[in-house]
C-alpha cells in the first residue's frame, strides 16, 4: 500500500498547478478556506493495519478534520451561519439549531458516519474546557459535526476517532495552506470512482464588488461522472455511474446495487451576511458540485454549512437589537458565482490531491492518474 505522507501529498498537484483555472474570479493567497481571515483548519489522520476486516479492530482508514471559524471564543462570540440539506441521507448533528437561531457557536468537525456521536461528545468536552459555565451558569452548547461513510476502506464499526484525535485536530488547526486529499476526515472517502478526500479553494471579489473573500472546504465521497473544467474525465477514463467497470460501491457486497456517498461543504466568507443571505449562499454550493458530476444520489448525505466572520453575536448582551450592515440581495450575485467556483475547485482539488489507499479486505480506491487527466483536458480544449 502507498503510505500517505506529507511528501506524496505535496507531490500531487492542485488544479491550478496543471493549468486548470476554474471560473472568472481569482483565488486568494492560499486558494483555501483559510484565506478568510481568522479561519483555521486542522486534521488528525488515522491509518493502521491491513488485510481482512476485523470489526472493531481494523484496518483503520479514517480521521477527523476541524474548521475553526475565528481566533476568539466561538461560544462567547458566535458567528452568523446557515445550513442547507440537499439530500438528507446522513447523520450530521447540530444543523437544526444553526437554522433555528442563525448562529454557529462551535468549530465544525468532519468525520465518518458512525463516529459522529463520539466526535460530538469530544467537541462538547472541548467547549466545556474553554467555557466551564456551559450547562451551569448558562445554556448548553450545540456541537456541529458532519460526516461521510468511509466503510469501503475503513473499519467503520470500530469508531476509531477518539477524544484525543478530536483534540489534536483542534489544537493543530492553523491558517495558511491546508493539507488536502486523503487526510483527516477524507482518509477513507471515495469520489466518482477514484479516491476522494479533503479539498479547498477560495475566490476574491474585486473592489467594485465589495472586495469580499469566499472560501470553501469540501469533503468528497459522492457518485457521478467526473467532469473537470468542462472535460468529461470520467467518461474518457471509464468511470461512469452504473457501468460494470466503475467499482463505485462504497459499502461492499451488502450495498452492491446502491451507488451513493455523501459530501460535506463548509463555506466561509468575510462578507457581512446573516442567516438568510448565508442560506442563499449555501444553496449555490450544490451548483459547484454539479459542474463536476455530482447529482445527489438516493444514498447521499449532502450537507452545506456557510458562515460569515464579518459580525459576531455575543453570547450574552443587554441589547435588544443587534445592529450590523449586510450585503443587499441585489449585490449577492457575485458572491453566488464566487461560491460556485470555489466549491467546484475545492472538490476537484480533493480528487487530484488524493493518493491511492488500500483499505479493509484489500479494497482499493486509486488516486486519479494525473497524466491522464491532463491529456483528457488538453484534448477537450482542442
Query: DSSP labels for 267-326?
Result: EEE-S---HHHHHHHHHHHHHHHHTTTB---TEEEEEEEEEESS--EESS-S-S------
H or E element that contains 127: helix 116-130
Q: Judge whether 300 counts as a catalytic residue.
A: yes
Cα first-last separation, the chain:
37
Which one from 190, 297, 302, 350 is the annotated catalytic residue? 302
CB 191 within 8 A of CB 206: no
- Calpha distance 46→58 (Å, rounded): 11
Q: Is 262 a catalytic site residue?
A: yes
- Of 189, 201, 262, 350, the catalytic one is 262
In degrees rounded to 5, what are phi and psi of residue 364?
Answer: -120, 135
* Pairing, β 194-195 against β 108-112: unpaired
Residue 254: how many other CB atoms lie within 10 Å: 9
Instruction: Give yes or no: 350 in active site.
Output: no
Q: How many CB atoms lie within 10 A of CB 210?
A: 15
Question: In sequence order, what E strands does the chain have?
Answer: 40-48, 60-68, 77-88, 103-104, 108-112, 144-148, 190-191, 194-195, 198-204, 213-221, 260-269, 299-308, 313-314, 357-358, 364-365
Instruction: Mention every residue, 6+ apart, whose C-beta is less than 8 A from residue 102.
Output: 80, 81, 82, 274, 275
Q: Which of 92, 189, 300, 350 is catalytic?
A: 300
Q: Show which residues are catalytic.
A: 262, 300, 302
Amino acid at each position: 500500500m502507498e503510505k500517505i505522507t506529507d511528501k506524496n501529498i505535496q507531490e500531487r498537484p492542485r488544479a491550478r498547478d496543471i493549468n486548470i483555472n476554474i471560473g472568472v474570479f481569482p483565488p486568494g493567497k492560499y486558494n483555501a478556506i483559510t484565506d478568510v481571515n481568522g479561519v483555521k483548519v486542522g486534521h488528525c489522520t488515522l491509518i493502521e493495519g491491513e488485510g481482512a476486516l476485523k470489526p472493531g479492530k481494523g484496518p483503520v482508514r479514517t480521521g477527523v478534520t476541524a474548521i475553526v471559524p475565528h481566533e476568539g471564543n466561538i461560544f462567547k462570540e458566535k458567528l452568523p451561519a446557515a445550513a442547507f440539506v440537499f439530500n438528507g441521507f446522513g447523520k450530521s448533528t447540530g444543523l437544526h439549531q444553526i437554522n433555528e437561531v442563525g448562529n454557529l457557536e462551535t468549530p465544525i468537525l468532519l468525520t465518518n458516519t458512525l463516529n459522529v456521536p463520539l466526535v460530538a461528545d469530544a467537541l462538547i468536552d472541548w467547549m466545556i474546557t474553554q467555557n466551564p459555565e456551559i450547562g451551569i451558569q448558562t445554556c448548553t452548547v450545540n456541537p456541529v459535526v458532519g460526516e461521510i461513510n468511509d466503510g469501503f476502506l475503513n473499519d467503520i464499526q470500530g469508531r476509531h476517532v477518539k477524544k484525543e484525535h478530536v483534540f489534536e485536530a483542534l489544537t493543530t488547526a492553523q491558517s495558511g495552506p491546508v493539507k488536502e486529499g486523503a487526510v483527516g476526515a477524507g482518509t477513507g472517502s471515495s469520489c466518482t470512482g477514484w479516491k476522494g478526500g479533503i479539498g479547498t479553494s477560495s475566490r476574491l471579489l474585486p473592489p467594485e464588488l465589495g472586495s469580499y473573500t469566499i472560501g470553501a472546504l469540501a469533503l468528497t465521497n459522492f457518485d457521478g461522472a467526473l467532469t473537470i473544467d468542462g472535460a468529461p474525465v470520467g467518461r474518457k477514463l471509464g468511470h461512469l455511474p452504473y457501468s460494470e467497470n466503475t467499482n463505485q460501491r462504497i459499502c461492499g457486497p451488502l450495498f452492491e446495487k446502491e451507488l451513493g456517498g455523501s459530501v460535506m461543504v463548509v463555506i466561509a466568507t468575510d462578507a457581512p451576511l446573516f442567516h438568510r443571505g448565508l442560506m442563499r449562499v449555501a444553496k449555490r454550493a450544490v451548483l459547484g458540485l454539479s459542474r463536476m458530476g455530482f447529482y445527489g444520489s438516493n444514498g447521499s448525505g449532502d450537507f452545506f454549512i456557510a458562515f460569515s466572520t464579518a459580525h459576531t453575536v455575543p453570547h450574552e448582551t443587554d441589547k435588544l437589537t443587534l445592529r450590523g450592515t449586510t450585503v443587499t440581495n441585489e449585490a449577492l450575485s457575485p458572491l453566488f458565482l464566487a461560491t460556485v467556483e470555489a466549491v467546484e475547485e475545492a472538490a476537484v482539488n480533493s480528487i487530484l490531491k488524493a493518493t491511492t489507499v488500500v483499505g479493509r479486505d484489500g479494497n482499493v480506491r486509486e488516486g486519479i492518474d494525473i497524466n491522464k487527466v491532463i491529456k483528457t483536458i488538453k484534448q477537450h480544449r482542442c
